[in-house]
């Protein structure tokens, strides 16, 4: 993997911070133009073709201010394509374009396992999470969690001595919840803090699903200790399964609503977890995580779809997800043309791109 020039790293951060350009569109732009520098130069024409009135590309001074804030805080910027970018995370579709990290970056490349669960956890659940994290850490695993109240906090506390990774919803310097300020500080010294959000950004509800995909994407598997039937922890488990990660669940009493979610995961085929031995056994005897080849250096595919092709594709989209290769076959149009048209539709806010290359109308 060749090192990215600093000017390209700067451009990738700038593109990632552009309003309405999320990880999917970011990845499409790099695939189409080969670099963020070229993509930024092409944005005005793309936006004009898409029919949008304008777009909000941050100026260079805004990006410089973010970089300076990160440097002052002691954090490091990792851009997708950097040699230090976590290899497992680079395989999810799509990977986060940029990450701020503080602490031991080497932990991101270790034998990582996530522990998540209820914010309002039982005393027994907290003990299980803490003991399980300590056992896994002593066995050579790096415990990853989200620094939330309850199970997350217990998991980080149990793995502090061996090294733990906290994935944050807000900026890397946003301490939430406030009572975890001391834990946040300890992890920044002996573990690693991770966030894709800009420096200083306060966490909001919409940021946690994005956080969860990173949390699971960094790991080989996710352990759910306690979770109700409708909870963020079950969303994390679902995302983990979609990312081809192992999903573990700690069984619990059917009388406790906080364990109904974990028991339901077991019904659906999750791996039963009563201790670190169950994780070790799963990683050595079950399927091996399949990781496709990483494409770090993008080759540009310059295609300008005709307006009538874009309109045909737009008419075919619906709330029901449609595979991109199905669109290609139906219209007898090359896949590269379909991808280019979907990029323009996404910029025009006329389509929603879903995981796995699926598309639907907005």
pLDDT in tens, 2-17: 689 999 999 999 999 9
Name the residue among 213, 228, 221 with its Cα closest to residue 271: 221
Predicted confidence at residue 20, as pLDDT, reads 82
Please state, in angstroms and as integers, the Cα–Cα distance from residue 89 to each residue in 30, 95, 187, 330, following that order: 17, 6, 20, 33
Q: Looking at per-residue confidence, does 327 or 297 come out higher?
A: 327
pLDDT in tens, 247-281: 999 999 999 999 999 999 999 999 999 999 999 99
pLDDT in tens, 329-345: 777 777 677 766 676 66
pLDDT score of 297 more than 70:
no
As separate numbers, helices (DSSP H) first and strands (DSSP E) second, the chain gives 14, 12
Predicted confidence at residue 343, as pLDDT, reads 66
- CA 273 – CA 346 distance, rounded (Å): 41
* Residue 331 near residue 309 (C-beta atoms within 8 A): yes
Q: Which helix (H) or strand (E) holds 60?
A: helix 60-73
Name the residue among 101, 125, 107 with its Cα closest to residue 115: 125
pLDDT in tens, 187-225: 999 999 999 999 999 988 888 888 999 999 999 999 999
CA 344 to chain centre: 24
Predicted confidence at residue 324, as pLDDT, reads 72
Residue 179, number of CB atoms within 10 A of its CB? 10
Name the residue among 18, 23, 169 with its Cα closest to residue 96: 23
pLDDT in tens, 154-192: 999 999 999 999 999 999 999 999 999 999 999 999 999
For the whole model, what pTM was predicted?
0.81
Q: What is the mean pLDDT of the chain?
A: 86
CA angle 13, 15, 16 (to 5 degrees): 65
Predicted confidence at residue 53, as pLDDT, reads 56
State the residue for tokens 């932990």: 107
pLDDT score of 71 more than 80:
yes
Percent of the chain with pLDDT over 90: 65
pLDDT in tens, 22-32: 898 899 899 88
Q: Which residues of 39-51 are buried (b: 16+ CB within 10 A; e: fewer)?
A: bbeebeebbeebe
Q: Which helix (H) or strand (E) holds 45?
A: helix 36-50
Name the residue among 254, 262, 199, 269 with its Cα closest to residue 231: 262
């Amino acid at each position: 993997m060749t090192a990215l020039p600093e000017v390209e790293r700067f451009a990738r951060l700038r593109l990632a911070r552009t309003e309405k350009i999320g990880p999917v569109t970011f990845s499409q732009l790099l695939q189409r133009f080969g670099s963020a520098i070229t993509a930024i130069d092409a944005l005005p024409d793309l936006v004009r073709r898409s029919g949008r009135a304008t777009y909000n590309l941050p100026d260079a001074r805004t990006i410089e201010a973010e970089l300076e804030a990160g440097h002052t805080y002691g954090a490091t910027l990792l851009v997708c394509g950097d040699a230090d970018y976590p290899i497992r995370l680079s395989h999810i579709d799509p990977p986060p374009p940029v990450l701020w990290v503080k602490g031991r970056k080497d932990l991101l490349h270790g034998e990582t396992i996530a522990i998540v669960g209820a914010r309002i956890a039982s005393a027994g659940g907290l003990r299980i999470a803490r003991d399980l994290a300590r056992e896994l850490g002593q066995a050579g695993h790096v415990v990853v969690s989200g620094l939330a109240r309850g199970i997350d906090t217990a998991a980080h506390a149990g793995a502090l001595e061996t090294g733990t990774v906290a994935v944050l919803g807000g900026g890397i310097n946003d301490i939430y919840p406030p009572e975890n300020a001391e834990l946040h500080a300890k992890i920044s010294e002996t573990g690693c803090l991770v966030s894709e959000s800009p420096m200083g950004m306060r966490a909001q509800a919409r940021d946690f699903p994005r956080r969860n995909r990173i949390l699971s994407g960094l790991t080989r598997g996710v352990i759910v200790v306690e979770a109700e039937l409708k909870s963020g922890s079950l969303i994390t488990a679902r995302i983990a399964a979609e990312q081809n990660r192992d999903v573990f669940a700690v069984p619990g009493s059917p009388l406790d609503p906080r364990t109904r979610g974990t028991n339901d995961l077991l019904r659906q085929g999750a791996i039963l977890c009563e201790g670190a031995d169950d994780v070790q056994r799963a990683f050595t005897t079950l399927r091996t995580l399949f990781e496709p080849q990483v494409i770090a250096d993008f080759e540009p595919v310059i295609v300008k779809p005709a307006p009538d092709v874009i309109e045909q594709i737009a008419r075919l989209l619906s709330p029901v997800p449609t595979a991109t290769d199905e669109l290609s076959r139906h219209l007898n149009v090359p896949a590269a043309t379909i991808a280019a048209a979907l990029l323009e539709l996404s910029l025009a806010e006329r389509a929603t791109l879903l995981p796995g290359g699926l598309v639907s109308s907005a």
